[in-house]
Amino acid sequence: MKKYIAELIGTFWLVLGGCGSAVLAAVFTSDSTTIGQDTYFPLGISFVGVSLAFGLTVLTMAYAIGHISGCHLNPAVSFGLWAGKRFSGKLLLPYIVAQVIGAVLAGGLIYLIASGNPDFSLAGSNPLATNGYGEHSPGGYPLISCLITEIVLTFMFLMIILGSTDLRAPAGFAPIAIGLGLTLIHLISIPVTNTSVNPARSTGVALWAGTELFAQLWLFWLAPIVGALLAGWTYHSLFSEEVAEQLIPEALTDSDFDRSQLEDEQTSI
Protein backbone atom coordinates (compact mmCIF):
# COMPACT_ATOMS: atom_id res chain seq x y z
CA MET A 1 0.00 0.00 0.00
CA LYS A 2 2.90 2.40 0.69
CA LYS A 3 3.99 2.14 -2.94
CA TYR A 4 0.56 3.08 -4.24
CA ILE A 5 0.18 6.04 -1.89
CA ALA A 6 3.64 7.23 -2.91
CA GLU A 7 2.69 7.01 -6.59
CA LEU A 8 -0.53 8.92 -5.94
CA ILE A 9 1.28 11.72 -4.11
CA GLY A 10 4.11 11.83 -6.64
CA THR A 11 1.79 12.04 -9.65
CA PHE A 12 -0.28 14.66 -7.84
CA TRP A 13 2.89 16.73 -7.48
CA LEU A 14 3.87 16.25 -11.11
CA VAL A 15 0.52 17.49 -12.42
CA LEU A 16 0.22 20.27 -9.85
CA GLY A 17 3.76 21.50 -10.51
CA GLY A 18 3.80 21.02 -14.27
CA CYS A 19 0.24 21.75 -15.40
CA GLY A 20 -0.25 24.19 -12.53
CA SER A 21 2.71 26.27 -13.67
CA ALA A 22 1.34 26.29 -17.22
CA VAL A 23 -2.15 27.40 -16.14
CA LEU A 24 -1.23 29.84 -13.37
CA ALA A 25 2.19 31.21 -14.23
CA ALA A 26 3.03 30.74 -17.92
CA VAL A 27 1.64 34.05 -19.18
CA PHE A 28 1.28 35.98 -15.95
CA THR A 29 1.39 39.80 -16.13
CA SER A 30 0.83 42.41 -13.48
CA ASP A 31 -0.15 46.07 -13.42
CA SER A 32 2.82 46.69 -11.15
CA THR A 33 5.28 45.49 -13.77
CA THR A 34 5.24 48.26 -16.34
CA ILE A 35 8.04 49.82 -18.30
CA GLY A 36 7.13 53.33 -19.27
CA GLN A 37 3.53 54.12 -20.10
CA ASP A 38 1.17 51.18 -20.64
CA THR A 39 4.01 48.78 -21.44
CA TYR A 40 3.52 45.57 -19.50
CA PHE A 41 6.52 43.53 -18.52
CA PRO A 42 5.52 39.85 -18.54
CA LEU A 43 6.45 37.88 -15.46
CA GLY A 44 5.16 34.62 -16.94
CA ILE A 45 7.52 31.69 -17.09
CA SER A 46 6.54 30.74 -20.66
CA PHE A 47 7.57 27.48 -22.40
CA VAL A 48 11.00 27.31 -20.77
CA GLY A 49 9.63 27.75 -17.27
CA VAL A 50 6.88 25.17 -17.76
CA SER A 51 9.42 22.71 -19.17
CA LEU A 52 11.64 23.20 -16.13
CA ALA A 53 8.67 22.84 -13.81
CA PHE A 54 7.83 19.40 -15.19
CA GLY A 55 11.45 18.32 -14.94
CA LEU A 56 11.76 19.60 -11.38
CA THR A 57 8.66 17.72 -10.22
CA VAL A 58 10.16 14.44 -11.38
CA LEU A 59 13.61 15.24 -10.00
CA THR A 60 12.28 16.16 -6.56
CA MET A 61 9.91 13.21 -6.33
CA ALA A 62 12.60 10.78 -7.51
CA TYR A 63 14.61 11.65 -4.43
CA ALA A 64 11.52 11.80 -2.21
CA ILE A 65 9.77 8.53 -3.13
CA GLY A 66 12.13 6.69 -5.46
CA HIS A 67 13.15 4.40 -2.61
CA ILE A 68 9.50 3.66 -1.86
CA SER A 69 7.81 3.05 -5.21
CA GLY A 70 10.46 3.61 -7.86
CA CYS A 71 8.82 6.98 -8.67
CA HIS A 72 7.07 6.06 -11.93
CA LEU A 73 4.38 8.81 -11.81
CA ASN A 74 3.35 7.71 -15.28
CA PRO A 75 1.55 4.62 -16.68
CA ALA A 76 3.88 4.66 -19.69
CA VAL A 77 6.91 4.43 -17.40
CA SER A 78 5.35 1.48 -15.58
CA PHE A 79 4.69 -0.29 -18.89
CA GLY A 80 8.19 0.49 -20.15
CA LEU A 81 9.86 -0.84 -17.01
CA TRP A 82 7.71 -3.96 -17.24
CA ALA A 83 8.76 -4.47 -20.87
CA GLY A 84 12.37 -3.96 -19.83
CA LYS A 85 12.07 -6.69 -17.14
CA ARG A 86 12.43 -4.18 -14.32
CA PHE A 87 8.87 -4.27 -12.97
CA SER A 88 6.34 -6.91 -12.04
CA GLY A 89 3.25 -7.14 -14.23
CA LYS A 90 1.01 -7.81 -11.25
CA LEU A 91 1.72 -4.28 -10.00
CA LEU A 92 0.80 -2.53 -13.25
CA LEU A 93 -2.90 -2.03 -12.54
CA PRO A 94 -2.62 -0.72 -8.96
CA TYR A 95 0.24 1.59 -9.95
CA ILE A 96 -1.75 3.01 -12.86
CA VAL A 97 -4.89 3.46 -10.76
CA ALA A 98 -2.89 5.34 -8.11
CA GLN A 99 -1.22 7.52 -10.75
CA VAL A 100 -4.51 8.46 -12.40
CA ILE A 101 -6.17 9.27 -9.08
CA GLY A 102 -3.28 11.53 -8.11
CA ALA A 103 -3.41 13.27 -11.49
CA VAL A 104 -7.18 13.81 -11.35
CA LEU A 105 -6.95 15.26 -7.84
CA ALA A 106 -4.25 17.67 -8.98
CA GLY A 107 -6.24 18.64 -12.08
CA GLY A 108 -9.24 19.40 -9.90
CA LEU A 109 -7.14 21.51 -7.54
CA ILE A 110 -5.68 23.50 -10.45
CA TYR A 111 -9.20 24.09 -11.78
CA LEU A 112 -10.38 25.21 -8.34
CA ILE A 113 -7.51 27.65 -7.91
CA ALA A 114 -7.69 28.99 -11.47
CA SER A 115 -11.45 29.52 -11.16
CA GLY A 116 -10.73 32.18 -8.55
CA ASN A 117 -9.38 34.40 -11.34
CA PRO A 118 -12.29 36.28 -12.95
CA ASP A 119 -10.56 36.10 -16.35
CA PHE A 120 -10.19 32.32 -16.27
CA SER A 121 -12.23 30.16 -18.63
CA LEU A 122 -12.03 26.76 -20.29
CA ALA A 123 -11.95 28.40 -23.71
CA GLY A 124 -9.00 28.16 -26.08
CA SER A 125 -7.13 25.26 -27.61
CA ASN A 126 -5.57 23.88 -24.42
CA PRO A 127 -7.46 24.90 -21.27
CA LEU A 128 -5.96 23.56 -18.04
CA ALA A 129 -2.79 22.63 -19.96
CA THR A 130 -4.57 19.81 -21.77
CA ASN A 131 -2.99 17.87 -24.61
CA GLY A 132 -4.42 17.72 -28.09
CA TYR A 133 -3.98 17.42 -31.83
CA GLY A 134 -5.40 19.32 -34.79
CA GLU A 135 -7.20 22.40 -33.51
CA HIS A 136 -6.16 21.48 -29.98
CA SER A 137 -2.46 21.33 -30.83
CA PRO A 138 -0.81 24.58 -29.68
CA GLY A 139 0.89 24.83 -33.09
CA GLY A 140 -1.96 23.32 -35.10
CA TYR A 141 -0.12 20.05 -35.81
CA PRO A 142 -2.19 17.20 -37.31
CA LEU A 143 -2.87 13.83 -35.71
CA ILE A 144 -0.01 11.99 -37.45
CA SER A 145 2.60 14.56 -36.34
CA CYS A 146 1.35 14.38 -32.75
CA LEU A 147 1.29 10.57 -32.82
CA ILE A 148 4.89 10.36 -34.03
CA THR A 149 6.05 13.01 -31.55
CA GLU A 150 4.54 11.27 -28.53
CA ILE A 151 5.81 7.81 -29.52
CA VAL A 152 9.36 8.95 -30.23
CA LEU A 153 9.72 11.23 -27.20
CA THR A 154 8.27 8.64 -24.82
CA PHE A 155 10.66 6.10 -26.32
CA MET A 156 13.59 8.40 -25.58
CA PHE A 157 12.28 9.17 -22.09
CA LEU A 158 12.21 5.47 -21.22
CA MET A 159 15.66 4.94 -22.70
CA ILE A 160 16.93 7.66 -20.36
CA ILE A 161 15.15 6.06 -17.40
CA LEU A 162 16.31 2.52 -18.18
CA GLY A 163 19.88 3.60 -18.82
CA SER A 164 20.31 5.93 -15.87
CA THR A 165 18.82 3.39 -13.42
CA ASP A 166 20.86 0.48 -14.75
CA LEU A 167 23.11 -1.01 -12.06
CA ARG A 168 26.08 -0.29 -14.31
CA ALA A 169 25.31 3.45 -14.41
CA PRO A 170 26.79 5.92 -11.89
CA ALA A 171 24.74 5.67 -8.72
CA GLY A 172 22.70 8.58 -7.42
CA PHE A 173 22.47 10.63 -10.61
CA ALA A 174 19.41 9.03 -12.24
CA PRO A 175 16.91 11.64 -10.94
CA ILE A 176 18.98 14.44 -12.48
CA ALA A 177 19.19 12.72 -15.88
CA ILE A 178 15.48 11.86 -15.83
CA GLY A 179 14.39 15.33 -14.72
CA LEU A 180 16.52 17.06 -17.33
CA GLY A 181 15.37 14.57 -19.94
CA LEU A 182 11.73 15.44 -19.24
CA THR A 183 12.60 19.14 -19.41
CA LEU A 184 14.15 18.68 -22.85
CA ILE A 185 11.14 16.66 -24.03
CA HIS A 186 8.85 19.55 -23.08
CA LEU A 187 11.09 22.09 -24.81
CA ILE A 188 10.75 20.04 -27.99
CA SER A 189 7.07 19.18 -27.96
CA ILE A 190 5.00 21.80 -26.12
CA PRO A 191 4.19 23.46 -29.49
CA VAL A 192 3.14 20.11 -30.96
CA THR A 193 0.94 18.36 -28.39
CA ASN A 194 1.47 20.51 -25.29
CA THR A 195 3.60 17.51 -24.26
CA SER A 196 2.08 14.45 -22.68
CA VAL A 197 4.41 11.40 -22.67
CA ASN A 198 2.25 10.55 -19.65
CA PRO A 199 -1.32 9.22 -19.88
CA ALA A 200 -2.08 10.06 -16.24
CA ARG A 201 -0.98 13.68 -16.68
CA SER A 202 -3.22 14.00 -19.75
CA THR A 203 -6.19 12.37 -18.03
CA GLY A 204 -5.86 14.40 -14.86
CA VAL A 205 -6.61 17.70 -16.61
CA ALA A 206 -8.76 16.48 -19.52
CA LEU A 207 -11.44 15.24 -17.12
CA TRP A 208 -11.97 18.82 -15.95
CA ALA A 209 -11.71 20.52 -19.35
CA GLY A 210 -14.80 19.27 -21.19
CA THR A 211 -15.87 16.50 -23.56
CA GLU A 212 -14.15 17.83 -26.68
CA LEU A 213 -10.68 17.53 -25.22
CA PHE A 214 -11.55 14.31 -23.42
CA ALA A 215 -12.41 12.82 -26.83
CA GLN A 216 -8.76 13.27 -27.90
CA LEU A 217 -7.41 11.58 -24.80
CA TRP A 218 -7.09 8.17 -26.48
CA LEU A 219 -3.99 9.36 -28.38
CA PHE A 220 -2.21 10.27 -25.15
CA TRP A 221 -2.71 6.79 -23.77
CA LEU A 222 -1.89 4.90 -26.97
CA ALA A 223 1.21 6.76 -28.16
CA PRO A 224 3.12 7.00 -24.86
CA ILE A 225 2.47 3.36 -23.99
CA VAL A 226 3.58 2.20 -27.46
CA GLY A 227 6.76 4.29 -27.21
CA ALA A 228 7.46 3.00 -23.70
CA LEU A 229 6.95 -0.65 -24.65
CA LEU A 230 9.29 -0.26 -27.62
CA ALA A 231 11.94 1.31 -25.40
CA GLY A 232 11.64 -1.42 -22.77
CA TRP A 233 11.99 -4.20 -25.30
CA THR A 234 14.83 -2.37 -27.10
CA TYR A 235 16.89 -1.71 -23.99
CA HIS A 236 16.44 -5.23 -22.65
CA SER A 237 17.24 -6.85 -26.01
CA LEU A 238 20.24 -4.74 -26.97
CA PHE A 239 21.85 -3.37 -23.83
CA SER A 240 21.01 -5.54 -20.86
CA GLU A 241 23.49 -7.88 -19.25
CA GLU A 242 22.98 -10.23 -16.34
CA VAL A 243 24.00 -7.51 -13.91
CA ALA A 244 21.23 -5.31 -15.30
CA GLU A 245 18.51 -7.87 -14.61
CA GLN A 246 17.09 -5.89 -11.74
CA LEU A 247 13.85 -4.86 -10.16
CA ILE A 248 12.99 -1.24 -9.59
CA PRO A 249 14.31 0.15 -6.31
CA GLU A 250 12.06 -0.85 -3.46
CA ALA A 251 11.75 0.67 -0.03
CA LEU A 252 13.86 -0.92 2.65
CA THR A 253 11.48 -1.42 5.52
CA ASP A 254 12.51 -2.48 9.00
CA SER A 255 11.32 -6.00 8.28
CA ASP A 256 13.51 -6.17 5.14
CA PHE A 257 16.67 -4.90 6.80
CA ASP A 258 19.16 -7.54 7.79
CA ARG A 259 20.23 -6.24 11.19
CA SER A 260 22.48 -9.21 11.85
CA GLN A 261 24.95 -7.91 9.29
CA LEU A 262 25.04 -4.51 10.99
CA GLU A 263 25.50 -6.14 14.40
CA ASP A 264 28.39 -8.24 13.06
CA GLU A 265 30.07 -5.09 11.73
CA GLN A 266 29.64 -3.29 15.04
CA THR A 267 31.03 -6.28 16.93
CA SER A 268 34.14 -6.35 14.74
CA ILE A 269 34.90 -2.65 15.36
- Comparing CA positions, the residue from 230, 215, 225, 26 lying closest to residue 110 is 26
> What pLDDT sits at residue 160?
97
The set of residues, in sequence order, having a beta carbon less than 8 Å from that of 63 and lying 6+ positions away, is: 175
Q: H or E stretch including 208? A: none
For the chain, what are the domain ranges? 2-116+124-247
> What pLDDT sits at residue 198?
98
Question: May I ask the CATH architecture of the domain 2-116+124-247?
Answer: Up-down Bundle (1.20)
Cβ-based burial of 150 (10 A; exposed 0-12, middle 13-18, buried ≥19): buried
Maximum alpha-carbon separation in the chain: 76
Q: How far is CA 180 from the centre of its chain?
A: 12
Q: How far is CA 40 from the centre of its chain?
A: 33
- Helical packing angle, 75-83 and 143-164, nearest 10°: 60
> What pLDDT sits at residue 19?
96
Residue 18 burial (CB count, 10 A): 28
> What pLDDT sits at residue 266?
42
Positions of the chain with pLDDT lower than 70, given as ranges: 28-43, 242-269
The set of residues, in sequence order, having a beta carbon less than 8 Å from that of 71 and lying 6+ positions away, is: 6, 10, 58, 61, 62, 64, 65, 175
Three-class DSSP category at 40: strand
> What pLDDT sits at residue 46?
84
